[in-house]
Amino acid sequence: MSDPVLDLRGVTFRRDGNQILHGIDLTVRVGEHWALLGPNGAGKSTILGFCGARTHPTSGTVDVLGRRLGRVELQELRRHIGHVDPRHPLRSPLTVTEVVLTGITGTIEVPLRWAPTREQADRVEALVAEVGLSARRSAPWPTLSQGERGRALIARALAADPRLLLLDEPTTGLDVAAREQLLETIDVLAHSAPELASVLVTHHLEELPETTTHALLVSEGRTVAAGPVDAALTTETVTRAFAHPIIVERENGRWSARAARHLQTT
């Protein structure tokens, strides 16, 4: 069995006197693709902050890429983590290619007096093609649709060849067609980058890629279920996490959830 890419043990977190997380465990290994689900306020964003080496726990341990938070220089560690956030704070009209290049520098803007090597430029061009944006590679950021931005941000996250990819509600604001295109792009990664591990945060089961292998379901800062996705996401566990009767189904690799008034919340 491979060493963990992520390993959270007994993690708790307090903010302003409020207990946000209560003893969370999570182990992600090479090639695994985890979904992190739960209702609003469940603690998903806080957990993702640990995974991205952006937050320290109040207690417990967090090991990211074999390095323990609190004993490692965070900025250097973050260079090995790809992060896809649809709220990317870009304000200038960078082109698609320039946006993807910033994944190499780890910045929002292209640094002054910096130029990529030929190898880096070739990699960026290949990534732009991989996410289906070759025809839009010179298009400025403000002219891109939300779906195109999402795919550009995936390419950006992969530019530095990370070992871990974090996707923070990547389908936010997308229509159905754009959502499906983005999920297809994510599914392709399981084949083009088989050693890449990922964690995807969402509220909605319909937004899970087919290649999702595992899930962590949280509610009120506690684990409801964790493990292989078929065992972790069931009618019983999702009903418990969302405190509402919900029927969970999976067909042709995709998940769905709908209310079931006749079920009793447990």
pLDDT tens digits, one per residue of 78-125: 888 999 988 888 889 999 999 999 999 888 998 888 888 999 999 999
Q: Provide Rg for the chain, Cα atoms.
A: 19
Q: How far apart are CA 140 and CA 148, in angstroms?
A: 11
pLDDT, position 265: 46
Architecture of domain 1-80+162-266: 3-Layer(aba) Sandwich (3.40)
Indicate the residue type of 61: T
pLDDT tens-place string over residues 125-142? 999 999 999 999 999 999
pLDDT, position 41: 87
Query: Contact 25/206 with Cβ under 8 angstroms?
Result: no
Q: How far apart are CA 202 and CA 236, in angstroms?
A: 19
The pair phi, psi for residue 218, each rounded to 5°, is: -125, 155
Range list for CATH 3.40.50.300 in the chain: 1-80+162-266
CB under 8 Å to 256, separation ≥6 — which residues? Answer: 205, 206, 248, 249, 250
- Distances, alpha carbon 221 to alpha carbons 39, 178, 232, in Å: 10, 31, 17
* CA 30-67-123 angle, 5° bins: 55
Q: What is the pLDDT along the chain (266 residues), one digit of tens a residue?
A: 678 999 999 999 999 889 999 999 999 999 999 999 999 889 999 999 999 998 899 999 999 999 999 888 888 888 889 999 888 888 899 999 999 999 998 889 988 888 889 999 999 999 999 999 999 999 999 999 999 999 999 999 999 899 999 999 998 888 999 999 999 999 998 888 999 999 999 988 999 999 999 999 999 999 999 999 999 999 999 999 999 999 999 998 899 999 887 544 44
